[in-house]
Structure 1
């Protein structure tokens, strides 16, 4: 019977986090262990904390590594120390509340990794008012027959539209086949209006790139070679992997901030827990100043009014 590796105690700022089973292999394809995952998150600490700061956060946990079952967890796992912070959320569909992780310091991230978290999926609002998003998320979601060249083309169109609006977009790889672009917004609108604005933007990108882009919500209505600009990632309780979040895939890919110039150069597979720490040490957090570039959604809401006045349907309700 194999013996368990001894636990490791780590000092993370003013906290001590005990990491059990540090040698458990989480990513068999590359031989990366639980401790490797912890060390990755320590290496990108400022970046992951900036991405999660004071946001409700759903956890994707793999208690036995990728070879075992994946757990989507809204509620904070039991046994948290008193310095792990939470925010209470109400879920109308289930008529219940849940206390979700609300990161304010790096030790809380490392504790969540100790509890087998691989992926961090934060809300686009913060705990001061969870019903008013301060982040507009543009998700470029490739179809089954799409390739990275198409993602690049659409990203450039999206960048062009953002520039015309006077909005500063912060791109990152998704950790899969797509690209995300984040725009900081003032927390003055509810989720419904942010979704309307996001759909109006998506439709403008579609108008400029009709052979590459679709805004059709139902998969059956999409060309498999079209890229979907997923406006519903701005719906309440819809989350995507944070900047610097590892993804639960065999090569331990990372959702990684990139510059606009790099979009033409990089490939999604470039970014793993093996490569991103060196990049972070050299470049720092490319999303570090996102809070300094706040965009007013008013022009996009005017576009939404225009579209709806000419018969375009409002945003489809997500499942």
Structure 2
């Protein structure tokens, strides 16, 4: 039988809000018994750093009506019946289509999203005030079979050096799974394709320095036991779990900002919906100054032009994208070969 509806008091910009949560005892993470109510209370507990990382920008909600073991779907535009404090901004997708996208401007929006069984928040790299120009350069270090978090940490330290040489300061967070996310705050002076090219330039430079440890190969059959530097996460409308967003994994892990000094000793499995509020209370938010001194991608774009001159051109785009100028064929290398070859 469904549990009764409850009302949570949620801080808002103009005073407290009373937000209803239906079926608060519904278990969203069966392995650890975390309920919808606990999820909603988690967002209240991490409100400030969560909004700093995910608020005031287009965001997609990944919703799990039957918990993390069931099917999921994405909500991008505000559904019918959304409260008035849940805002939206019109954005342009890669197809050229324009559509409203959700924007979180207060923590009540995240609590409302939890009421809608949202577990993962996927923010754009740009702000709602200027959705076409990213304020973050994002690099996803994705461990391939035979590698794991420890190998991603080694790659992240070297990537930090590469980015510093390009005049950017890097910040790290766990993905909530096996990988690492490296972000750099940047001035919103370039559109998404330019930022993608900047990420590719950094990724290729890292690959040159660690050829046996990292790869930019898009096709899985060519990656081997290396960390894949996922350049395509820098595209328009391609997102990753935001900082302090829970993940739809059995133990309710959270994508958690960490300092560079603690990175080598981090256990990403220790950051969960139940432990992250305690961590924030004890050590604070490692990303509290994120965005205070945004950098520029000019040097990375110079590296991109250098690589173009050396014959290193465009790389494949995700399959849902239209064919892009200069893009190589979207076919696995093994399937592109003919018997005559």
By the TM > 0.5 criterion, same fold? yes
In structure 2, the residue matched to 1:186 is: 187
In structure 1, the residue matched to 2:6 is: 8
Which of 76, 84, 102 does residue 74 from structure 1 map onto? 76
Cα deviation per residue 1:207-241 (whole Å; 9 max; x = unaligned)? Answer: 11111000111222221x11111111110100000
Task: Give the secondary-structure state (helix, strand or coil) at the position aligned to 1:109.
Answer: helix
The CA RMSD measured in Å over matched residues stands at: 1.3
Task: Give the secondary-structure state (helix, strand or coil) at the position aligned to 1:295.
Answer: coil
In structure 1, the residue matched to 2:336 is: none
Structure possessing the higher relative contact order (Cα contacts under 8 Å, 6 or more residues apart): 1
Following superposition, the deviation at residue 96 of structure 1 comes to 4.2
Q: Is this contact kept in 1: 2:147–2:227, CA < 8 A? A: yes
> More displaced, 9-18 or 191-200?
9-18
Task: Give the secondary-structure state (helix, strand or coil) at the position aligned to 2:190.
Answer: coil
Which of 31, 34, 46 does residue 33 from structure 2 map onto? 31
Task: Give the secondary-structure state (helix, strand or coil) at the position aligned to 1:26.
Answer: strand
Measured in 2, the distance between the counterparts of 1:239 and 1:184 equals 16
In structure 1, the residue matched to 2:150 is: 149
In structure 2, the residue matched to 1:125 is: 126
Task: Give the secondary-structure state (helix, strand or coil) at the position aligned to 2:288.
Answer: coil
Measured in 1, the distance between the counterparts of 2:116 and 2:317 equals 33
Following superposition, the deviation at residue 138 of structure 1 comes to 1.2
Measured in 2, the distance between the counterparts of 1:98 and 1:67 equals 30
Q: Is this contact kept in 1: 2:49–2:288, CA < 8 A? A: yes
Cα deviation per residue 1:223-270 (whole Å; 9 max; x = unaligned)? Answer: 1x1111111111010000000000001100000000001110011111
- 1:1-319, aligned counterparts within 5 Å? 2=1, 4-13=2-11, 14=15, 15-93=17-95, 96-223=97-224, 225-319=225-319
Cα deviation per residue 1:112-153 (whole Å; 9 max; x = unaligned)? Answer: 111110000000011112111111001101112112221111
Q: Is this contact kept in 1: 2:166–2:299, CA < 8 A? A: yes
Q: Which segments of 5 or more consecutive residues in structure 1 lack a partner in the other structure?
A: none
Tell me the number of residue pairs that the alignment of Structure 1 and Structure 2 aligns. 315
Q: Is this contact kept in 1: 2:167–2:299, CA < 8 A? A: no
Q: Is this contact kept in 1: 2:206–2:214, CA < 8 A? A: yes
In the superposition, relative to structure 1, how do residues 204 and 96 fare at CA in structure 2: closer, same or farther (>3 Å)?
closer
Measured in 2, the distance between the counterparts of 1:232 and 1:96 equals 20
Task: Give the secondary-structure state (helix, strand or coil) at the position aligned to 1:137.
Answer: strand
Measured in 2, the distance between the counterparts of 1:62 and 1:148 equals 26
**TM-score, normalising length from structure 1?**
0.96
Measured in 2, the distance between the counterparts of 1:96 and 1:159 equals 36
Measured in 2, the distance between the counterparts of 1:31 and 1:71 equals 22
Q: Which segments of 5 or more consecutive residues in structure 2 lack a partner in the other structure?
A: 320-341
Following superposition, the deviation at residue 92 of structure 1 comes to 4.8
Following superposition, the deviation at residue 97 of structure 1 comes to 3.6
